[in-house]
Amino acid sequence: MKPLRIGIVGGGGIVRTRHMPGLAAIDGIEIVAVCNRRRASAERFAADFGIPRVVDRWEDVVAMDDVDIVWIGTTPYLHCPIATAALAADKHVFCQARMCMDLDEALTMVAAADAHPDLAVRICPPPMGMAGDRTMRRLLRKERLVGDVRHVRLRNLASTLLDPDYPLHWRIQREQSGLNVAALGIYVEVLNRWLAPATHVATMSRIWTQHRRHPDTGEPAAVEIPESVNILVDLADGALGVYEVNGVSAHAPGDALEIYGTEGTIVYHFGDDRIEAARRGETSLRPVPIPANERCDWSVEADFVHQVRAGEKIGLAPDFREGLKYMAFLEAVHRSAATGEAVRVSEQGRSK
């Protein structure tokens, strides 16, 4: 078996804790180079994992003749330029979520992937809902436990941003995260597997702490990404939804999805992959076990390597066209919050 050689751009926490162990468990994988935002952190990463080369520019990784796969672990602002350059250089691409900065970048990435259909291209899927994905699809589609969906509520609440001294993390920096808000996009990715897609959104958002300390300069810098977002959602099957996302809720219950229909109710608790359900007429929700043959465990790295070697997609990792759907949702949320109007979810970019 010919070794697959990987060049890593962005060896941060998720790459360290999730991807490197997953790749280490696969035969015939060689990590040949790493590039980080800072040389010192790249050298530490290389020393920790025995990587022979450290480079200062991501372009150098893309240009290496002995790199088959470019593994992108940077924050979103570099996902589009690195992915498109890697595809142009005939490299397979694995990209950390979130997909990119905005819908126009997502369309650029889709076009680049479409131009190279022989290359494997995937975005890292979220762990949220992974364990129960097959069970949820069975309950909703095959068994139609809830019947026709009438109302959906997504809850993603935390208290991190209540602390005024919490720094300007990249997740709340527009220059690094673009239109991404908290975990909204990747939760929508999960919902798109289980429910009808959104067609319209009406959004209200708030930034409560206007300035936070920039981690690089130590100086106060403006916060540009909302800390609270409430979204009314119209789904393609006629159901309505309420999506609540914020970082300012002390003592909030865990993240959950509630699905109410003509025949019953399903609640998915993301923190512990617990499913509760009841049919109409039952007096209370009951636990629904995830059968062993349906449980999805983390196999993201092995799934991607399988696609590179066999040309067959397995697992939950979305391709760029699937990622485009949640970037279109984020674009509509942003426009709705800015205008105060309901906005149609469209996969056409602003320049189109």
159 alpha carbon, distance to own chain's centre: 21
Residue 1 above 90 pLDDT? Answer: no
DSSP per residue over 90-115, as a string?
T-EEEEPSS--SSHHHHHHHHHHHHT
**Domain range annotation of the chain:** 4-126+298-318, 133-296+329-339
Q: How many CA atoms lie within 13 A of 197 on its CB side?
A: 17
Residue 352 above 50 pLDDT? Answer: no
C-alpha–C-alpha distance, residues 60 and 39, integer Å: 14
Q: At what angle do helices 184-194 and 320-339 cross, to 10 degrees?
A: 120
93 alpha carbon, distance to own chain's centre: 16
Largest CA distance in the chain: 64
DSSP per residue over 275-318, as a string?
EEEEEBTBSS-EEE---TTTPPPP-HHHHHHHHHHHS---SS--
146 alpha carbon, distance to own chain's centre: 27
Is the backbone of residue 345 left (phi > 0), alpha (psi -120 to 50) or beta?
beta
User: Mean pLDDT across the stretch 242-258?
Assistant: 97
Residue 114: count other Cβ atoms within 10 Å of its Cβ. 12
Q: pLDDT tens digits for 58-113?
A: 999 999 999 999 999 999 999 999 999 999 999 999 999 999 999 999 999 999 99
User: Mean pLDDT across the stretch 120-141?
Assistant: 98
Q: pLDDT tens digits for 276-315?
A: 999 999 999 999 999 999 999 999 999 999 999 999 999 9
Q: At what angle do helices 103-114 and 79-88 cross, to 10 degrees?
A: 10
> Tokens for 349?
């970019």
Which residue type does 312 have? E
Model pLDDT, residue 243? 98
* Confidence (pTM): 0.96
- Closest by CA to 4, choosing from 59, 84, 70, 52, is 70
C-alpha–C-alpha distance, residues 280 and 263, integer Å: 5
Superfamily grouping for domain 133-296+329-339: Dihydrodipicolinate Reductase; domain 2 (3.30.360.10)
Residue 141 to residues 134, 149, 193, 292, 299, Cα–Cα distance (Å): 10, 11, 11, 19, 25
Instruction: Label residue 335 by pLDDT band (50, 70, 90).
Output: very high
Residue 172 to residues 18, 151, 304, 320, Cα–Cα distance (Å): 23, 30, 29, 23
Model pLDDT, residue 350? 67
Residue 125 to residues 19, 22, 42, Cα–Cα distance (Å): 12, 14, 25
Residue 317 above 80 pLDDT? Answer: yes
Q: Which residue has the tokens 């984020």?
A: 330
Superfamily grouping for domain 4-126+298-318: NAD(P)-binding Rossmann-like Domain (3.40.50.720)
Q: pLDDT tens digits for 155-191?
A: 999 999 999 999 999 999 999 999 999 999 999 999 9
